[in-house]
Amino acid sequence: MMKTIYKITFMVLSLLSGLNLFAQQKTALKLSNVLQSNMVIQQGKSFKVWGQATPLTKITITADWLKKEVAVNADDQGNFIGAIDVPKAKKGNFDTHQLTVASASDQVILDNLLIGDVWFCSGQSNMQFKLQEDKDAATSLPAARHPNIRLFNTELNFSATPILNVKGKWQACTPETVKDFSAVGYYFGEYLQKEINIPVGLIFSGIGASKVEAFVPQEALKANPMLDTVYLEPYLRSEKSKEVINGGFSFEKVTRPFLLYNALINPFTNLSIKGFCWYQGEGNRMERDSYTLATQTLIKEWRKKFYQGELPFYYVQVAPFFYDKEDPKLADYAFFREAQEKISSVKNTAMVVSMDVGEAKDLHPKKKMPLGIRLAKTALNLTYGQNISYLGPKFEKMVVKGDRVSVFFKKASVKSGLGTNDQDAPKYFTLAGADGIFYPAEAKIVDQHIEVWSTDIKKPVAVRYAFTNYPVTNLQNNDALPAIPFRSDNWQEQK
């Protein structure tokens, strides 16, 4: 009899223990914080829905544009991911939508969703630069009521390993929600949305003072001998690499390799997007080939991680700045801008020029609207196939006749004609003879080319344009797009 009682007692306790264990394993249904009400869902691509739930439970995904639900199962750790089709957006259609994710006991509803294009903006302080700080904020900010533009401003974080969660909130664009958002990102999105007439989602995920290597995955840095030697190994050998990494900010921490990729980029890689906008470089200004390679690697790795083909990648050139050295002959920053330009040899990338809107003594020039609009025009031409001018005069060749040089540009970049933004003669041309010493030169527009001369040079062999540290330029085409700095020579930089 006692044996029977013990046996029954053991069975009851085992059952209660099992029920308790089940209760402990039960997890409330939760979506990634990237997925929220008010967001824009990328049109014409598969939309992934991911999150956590009770392990091994069935999860259903329904949306008001789907004919039937999609079902997936959480794995033994409670993670799940499903994908649903999304239709193409129709111009002028700003209908809101609803999406429901449910388990047997929970459900999460996302509402006020829009179907359109999502662009991902990142970089350092000139991309982070807030709209309320912009030179045109007094007029731009009160007018920034755009219910069909949605914003996600990512909170800063760092991580030693790739993570899947971020903090931030999807919000409709209003003067209040956009004032702390990227000015370049906003002006890009505003111009773009007006032209394509569908909803636009803008994500900012970056931080001032950061370096390019901070946004590149660790394994990608390791795989390339130059990147490993220049960026990764010096960090891994340092005492800094042994610290416990948390979310606290420091100007030094934002320069460390791969930490920002893990915390600010990796969490978004399941999200379908249209493309990237990038504005970074000041933190790496003393580098040349390694910076070009690191940024090209960043592009390729982001594309690989987002797994959506060769996504467009459009970036802004660093603006003129004197770095507390008032010497108009210094050219180290010009050589860095040249290294930036070389990034665009990667397919489906393009650089936006900032030379005419910089401020020689301000690292953070306040006029961001032209840069955002130029990014938008670049996207409209190269991504959306619109016949819109986006490229300023781009050097093609020089022809020497006696003591004068004729500078010719690629025809597509000057088909609207040449001009200046102040009606003065073109500035910041220099000429050199065989000795390689450059002297200031005069210049004038002749049809669609520039004639350049200097009383100091009788036999010119090389011409440069805006190839010093802080020239704020005036030369442009008649579409108001600034000329790209260039040099005809291939002489080594003098250190």
Place of tokens 């948390």: 246
| 210 and 292 co-located in one domain | yes
**Do 451 and 366 belong to one domain?**
no
pLDDT tens for the chain, residues 1 to 495: 444 444 444 444 444 444 444 444 678 999 999 999 999 999 999 999 999 999 999 999 999 999 999 999 999 999 999 999 999 999 999 999 999 999 999 999 999 999 999 999 999 999 999 999 999 999 999 999 999 999 999 999 999 999 999 999 999 999 999 999 999 999 999 999 999 999 999 999 999 999 999 999 999 999 999 999 999 999 999 999 999 999 889 999 999 999 999 999 999 999 999 999 999 999 999 999 999 999 999 999 999 999 999 999 999 999 999 999 999 999 999 999 999 999 999 999 999 999 999 999 999 999 999 999 999 999 999 999 999 999 999 999 999 999 999 999 999 999 999 999 999 999 999 999 999 999 999 999 999 999 999 999 999 999 999 999 999 999 999 999 999 999 999 999 988
- Cα–Cα distance between 413 and 285 in angstroms, integer? 28
Residue type, 347: K
**Where is the domain boundary, 317, 351, 382?**
382
Q: For residue 134, what are its two tokens?
A: 């912009």
What's the predicted TM-score (pTM) here?
Answer: 0.94
State which of 352, 382, 412 marks the end of a domain. Answer: 382
β-strand pairing of 47-52 with 79-84: antiparallel
Distance CA 370, CA 109 (A): 39
Residues 301 and 231 in one domain: yes
Instruction: Read off the CATH number of the domain in which 245 is found.
Output: 3.40.50.1110
Range of the domain at 315: 186-382
In whole angstroms, what separates CA 261 from the centre of its chain?
A: 12
DSSP code for 479: T
Q: Are residues 229 and 346 in the same domain?
A: yes
CA dihedral over 434, 436, 442, 443, signed as positive or negative: positive
DSSP state of 308: S
Is 377 found in the same domain as 420?
Answer: no
Q: Are residues 377 and 415 in the same domain?
A: no
Please tell me what DSSP assigns to residue 460.
-
pLDDT score recorded for residue 495:
81
| Within-domain flag for 82 | no
| Residue 310 lies inside a defined structural domain of this protein | yes
> Is 286 inside any structural domain?
yes
Could you tell me if 435 and 319 lie in one domain?
no
Are 317 and 369 members of one domain?
A: yes
Give the count of domains, the chain: 2
DSSP class of 239: G
Return the CA Rg of the chain. Answer: 27
Q: Do residues 312 and 372 both lie within one domain?
A: yes
- The per-residue pLDDT for range 211-241, each reduced to its tens digit, is 999 999 999 999 999 999 999 999 999 999 9
Residue where a domain stops, chosen among 332, 357, 382: 382
Distance of CA 280 to the CA centre of its chain: 9
Decide: 25 and 55 in contact? Cβ < 8 Å. Answer: yes
What's the mean pLDDT when you consider all of the chain?
95
The alpha helices in 183-224, defined as continuous H runs, are 183-196, 218-223
